[in-house]
Amino acid sequence: MPASLSSAITAEIAPSILLDSRRALVHQTQGWMAVADLHYGYEVHRSRQGALLPHWGMGQCRATLLALLHDHRPHKLIIVGDIMDGSGSVAQTGAFLDNLRTYVPELILIEGNHDRSGLKKGWHLQKTHREEDFVFHHGHQGIAPPSLAEDLFGHHSQVIFITGHEHPAISLRDGAGMKLKLPALVQQRVCAEMQHWILPAFSPWAAGGEYRGEHENLATWACAPARIWKIA
């Protein structure tokens, strides 16, 4: 059953690991929280390309993330790539990160395919990050970068790769024309020594789509504002 912190709706998806309905993964004993695909400054970057969008996504992204930090009090916040949306939002993303790091002891930034050189000049973005048997990378270069897999499999009985990039979501239909799309977290078994978990996109602009991976699906968790469903 989901547990409640203050404004949090969570489900335990593995021992000591909570999925928060606000699209964050929290390890209670290791003390980290992970989110992916913020695409911060989406509306600013896209408006410079001619799109007419209301400037509400950045405020919602910031408010939701600060509420998550308040509720869970992680020691580390891991942003698993696509921190920004593009070069047009460098200034806004940098200011956002400057403010964010005052709320968490350690901020770990992983490079995604949307993260541009302007951001990397002011911030250290890692290709990968590891917390015991959990390895984080954005996912745009495959499930397990070869340089990592060989080393990790030689020393661990099981490795869980946590990525973003895919923006997984599910669509629910009632048979009478009603359709609801929800962001989702996907857990797959790649082999006996390896699982792959794909985080839901944190950006409120990311509609996402069904993820059809080639590996065995263990579970798909749909995130609604006040509920989490285990679909499979």
Model pLDDT for residues 73-104, shown as the tens digit of each residue: 999 999 999 999 888 889 999 999 999 999 99
Write out the residue range of the structural domain in which residue 204 sits: 9-230
Average pLDDT over residues 180-195: 93
Quick check: is 2 in a domain? no
Residue 61 domain-assigned (yes or no)? yes
| Overall domain count for the chain | 1
pLDDT digits (tens, 9 = 90+) for 28-44: 999 999 999 999 987 77
What does the pLDDT look like over 158-184, one tens digit per residue?
899 999 999 999 988 887 878 889 999
Name which of 114, 124, 125 is nearest 201 in CA terms. 114
Residue 55 located in a structural domain? yes
Domain-located, residue 187: yes
pTM for the model stands at 0.91
Query: What CATH number corresponds to the domain at position 98?
Result: 3.60.21
- Is residue 3 in a domain? no
* pLDDT greater at residue 63 or residue 145: 63
In a domain, 43, yes or no: yes
1 within a domain of the structure (yes/no):
no
Whether residue 4 lies inside any domain: the answer is no
Lowest mean pLDDT across 25-34, 49-58, 213-222: 49-58
| 145, pLDDT greater than 90 | no
What number is the average pLDDT over the span 102-127? 94
pLDDT > 80? residue 151:
no
